[in-house]
Amino acid sequence: MRLNDHGASAELLQFMGYQQEAQDGDVTRFIRDGGNGAHRIDIETLPDAPQAAQGAGSVHHIAFSVDDRAAQLEVRKALMDTGYQVTPVIDRDYFWAIYFRTPGGVLFEVATNEPGFDRDEDAAHLGEALKLPDQHAHLRRQLEQLLEPITD
């Protein structure tokens, strides 16, 4: 993340279980033990950087996972108790999600691992067919025309 001040976002990451691992110039690295691909987050502090905003060439959001809805509700409550404005839980068919903005304006998502991407197909065949959440089912014909088939 490129931010004009990393202090509040660093504090948020530490609240989420990350620890500062290293600093190299303007870049501070945070890690979380036992994490997956999101176990490492770098914050580059650039005093002239604007507030984070969505737009062409930017990342839409950073997603984190929790095991289940109970854990997600605990995270949501803790964030709200700390003053963050958090969305209600949103059903995404394959997972439940909550969203909030960091002090630097970056959108964070906390999603459940349940029910999972194998809820409507056998885990051994994940990715072999186009699966869509119910909210996007009406786009199937258009997407199938635009997307190139996946081949081995």
pLDDT in tens, 58-115: 778 889 999 999 999 999 999 999 999 999 999 999 999 999 998 888 899 999 999 9
Domain hosting residue 20, numbered range: 2-116
Judge if 39 and 112 occupy the same domain. Answer: yes
Look at residue 22 in the predicted model and tell me its pLDDT: 92
d(CA 17, CA 32): 6
pLDDT, the chain, mean: 89
Structure tokens at 61: 């959001």
Judge if 112 and 70 occupy the same domain. Answer: yes
Nearest residue to 22 via CA among 49, 50, 46, 41: 41
How many domains, in total, are found in the chain? 2
What band does 50 get if pLDDT is binned at 50, 70 and 90?
A: confident
CA angle (65, 68, 70) in 5-degree steps:
115
Judge if 77 and 141 occupy the same domain. Answer: no
Look at residue 49 in the predicted model and tell me its pLDDT: 81
pLDDT at 152 over 70: no
- Say what percent of the chain tops pLDDT 90: 51
pLDDT at 38 over 80: no
pLDDT at 57 over 70: no
Look at residue 143 in the predicted model and tell me its pLDDT: 94
Look at residue 33 in the predicted model and tell me its pLDDT: 86
Judge if 20 and 57 occupy the same domain. Answer: yes
User: What is the number of other CB atoms lying within 10 angstroms of the CB of residue 63?
Assistant: 14
d(CA 97, CA 117): 14
Judge if 62 and 85 occupy the same domain. Answer: yes
CB–CB of 115/94 below 8 Å? Answer: yes
- Beta bridge partners, 41, equal 30
Nearest residue to 133 via CA among 112, 119, 146: 119
Judge if 109 and 148 occupy the same domain. Answer: no
Judge if 33 and 106 occupy the same domain. Answer: yes
Q: What dihedral do alpha carbons 103, 54, 108, 84 form, nearest 10°?
A: 40
